[in-house]
Structure 1
Amino acid sequence: MSLVSRRTVLALAAGGAAAIAVPQAAQARSAARSAPFRLTLPEPTGRYPIGTTALHLTDAARKDPWTSAARRELMVSVWYPAFPVGPRAPYAPPGSAGPLAEDVSGVLGLPAGSIDYAGTPTHAHADAPALGRHPVILYSPGAGTSRILGTHHVEDLASRGYVVVTIDHTGEAPVEFPGGRVAPVVADSNNPRRTVAVRVADIRFVLDSLADLAESEDAPDRLGRALDLRRIGMFGYSQGGFAAAETMLQDHRIKAGVNLDGTLQYGFPDGDLSESAQQGIDRPFLLFGAQGHAHVPNPESPLNDPSWTSFWNARSGWKLDLEIPAGTHGSFADYQFSVPAIAARFGLPPEQIAGHLGTVDPAVSIRAQRAYLGAFFDQFLRNQPQPLLRHPSPKYPQIVFHP
Structure 2
Amino acid sequence: MRLFEMLLVLSCFALMMNVLFVGRNTKKTDLAIAMGSSVIFVVHLLSEGYRWQMLLIYITTGLLIVIVSSRYFQKSRNYKLGKLLKYSLASIIVVLMVVSVGLSVYMPVFHLPKPDGPEQVGTQTFHWTDLSRDEVLTADQSDKRELMIQIWYPAERKDNSKSEFLFPKDKEMFKKYIQTYANSLHLPEFVFDYWKYSRTNTYENAEIVPSTSPYPLVLLSHGMGTSRVLHASQAENLASHGYIVVTIDHTYSTFATIFPDGRVTDYKTKVKTIDERRTIGEIWTEDVKFVINQVEKLNSGAIESQFKGKMDVSHMGVMGHSFGGATAFNTAYVDDRIKAGINMDGSLIEVVNREDIRKPFMFIRSGSFKDWLVDFKKKKSHNKVNDEVNKQLSDELHIIKNVIRQGGNAIYVEGTEHFNFTDLQFYSPLIKLTGITGDIDGKRGSNIVNQYVLDFFNTYLKGTGGDLIQGPNGKYPEVKFVESSEL
Q: Is 1:196 paired with 2:196?
A: no
**TM-score, structure 1 length as denominator?**
0.80
Residue number in structure 2 paired with 1:4? none
Counterpart secondary structure, 1:379: helix
Change (3 A) 1:296 1:381: farther
Q: What are the residue-to-residue correspondences of 1:345-360 with 2, within 5 Å?
A: 352=433, 355-360=435-440
Residue number in structure 2 paired with 1:82? 155
Change (3 A) 1:135 1:250: same
Q: Is 1:254 paired with 2:338?
A: yes
Q: What are the residue-to-residue correspondences of 1:12-23 with 2, within 5 Å?
A: none
Q: Is 1:299 paired with 2:381?
A: no
What letter matches 2:227 in structure 1? S
Of 75, 92, 101, 2:167 maps to 92
Change (3 A) 1:126 1:138: same
What letter matches 2:457 in structure 1? F
Residue number in structure 2 paired with 1:170? 251
Counterpart secondary structure, 1:318: coil
Change (3 A) 1:352 1:65: same
User: Do 2:459 and 2:466's aligned partners in 1 also have CA atoms closer than 8 Å?
Assistant: yes
Q: Is 1:47 paired with 2:135?
A: no
Q: What are the residue-to-residue correspondences of 1:31-42 with 2, within 5 Å?
A: 37-42=108-113
How far apart are 1:121 and its partner, in Å? 1.7
How far apart are 1:208 and its partner, in Å? 0.4
Aligned counterparts of 1:249 and 1:338: Cα–Cα separation in 2: 34
What letter matches 2:400 in structure 1? W
Aligned counterparts of 1:301 and 1:239: Cα–Cα separation in 2: 26
How far apart are 1:37 and its partner, in Å? 4.8
Change (3 A) 1:215 1:66: same
Q: Is 1:325 paired with 2:406?
A: no
Q: Is 1:120 paired with 2:198?
A: yes
How far apart are 1:236 and its partner, in Å? 0.2
Deviations 1:9-65, CA, capped at 9 Å, x for gaps: xxxxxxxxxxxxxxxxx99x8599979853210110000001000001111111112
What letter matches 2:145 in structure 1? R
Counterpart secondary structure, 1:384: coil
Aligned counterparts of 1:60 and 1:369: Cα–Cα separation in 2: 36
Of 364, 372, 379, 1:288 maps to 364
Residue number in structure 2 paired with 1:275? 352
How far apart are 1:145 and its partner, in Å? 1.2
Residue number in structure 1 paired with 2:40? none
How far apart are 1:385 and its partner, in Å? 3.9
Change (3 A) 1:256 1:100: farther
Change (3 A) 1:104 1:66: closer
Q: What are the residue-to-residue correspondences of 1:150-169 with 2, within 5 Å?
A: 150-169=231-250
User: Do 1:65 and 1:198's aligned partners in 2 also have CA atoms closer than 8 Å?
Assistant: no
How far apart are 1:251 and its partner, in Å? 0.3
Specify which structure has the bigger relative contact order, considering alpha-carbon pairs within 8 angstroms and separated by 6 or more residues: 1
Residue number in structure 2 paired with 1:392? 472
Residue number in structure 1 paired with 2:397? 309
308-317 or 208-217, which deviates more = 308-317
Aligned counterparts of 2:465 and 2:338: Cα–Cα separation in 1: 19
Aligned counterparts of 2:292 and 2:207: Cα–Cα separation in 1: 21
Change (3 A) 1:298 1:384: farther
Considering only aligned residues, what root-mean-square deviation do their CA atoms show, in Å? 3.2
Number of residue pairs aligned between Structure 1 and Structure 2: 360
What letter matches 2:356 in structure 1? G
How far apart are 1:107 and its partner, in Å? 9.7
User: Do 1:297 and 1:309's aligned partners in 2 also have CA atoms closer than 8 Å?
Assistant: no
User: Do 1:142 and 1:240's aligned partners in 2 also have CA atoms closer than 8 Å?
Assistant: yes
User: Do 1:32 and 1:114's aligned partners in 2 also have CA atoms closer than 8 Å?
Assistant: no
Aligned counterparts of 1:153 and 1:243: Cα–Cα separation in 2: 17
What letter matches 2:448 in structure 1? A
How far apart are 1:110 and its partner, in Å? 7.3
User: Do 1:233 and 1:257's aligned partners in 2 also have CA atoms closer than 8 Å?
Assistant: yes
What letter matches 1:158 in structure 2? A
Aligned counterparts of 2:120 and 2:266: Cα–Cα separation in 1: 34
69-78 or 232-241, which deviates more = 69-78
What letter matches 2:322 in structure 1? S
How far apart are 1:224 and its partner, in Å? 2.5
User: Do 1:242 and 1:263's aligned partners in 2 also have CA atoms closer than 8 Å?
Assistant: yes
Of 348, 356, 371, 1:264 maps to 348
Q: Is 1:334 paired with 2:418?
A: no
Structure 1 segments unaligned to the other structure (5+ residues) = 1-25, 266-272
Deviations 1:85-129, CA, capped at 9 Å, x for gaps: 454222122566557657887999975323333432211100111
Deviations 1:169-196, CA, capped at 9 Å, x for gaps: 1111221111222123222243211111
Residue number in structure 2 paired with 1:66? 137
What letter matches 1:310 in structure 2? H
What letter matches 1:368 in structure 2? I
**Which structure has the larger Rg?**
2
> Between Structure 1 and Structure 2, which shows a larger proportion of strand residues?
1
Instruction: Give percent identity, aligned residues only.
Output: 28
Residue number in structure 2 paired with 1:7? none
175-184 or 373-382, which deviates more = 175-184
Counterpart secondary structure, 1:299: helix
Change (3 A) 1:251 1:388: same
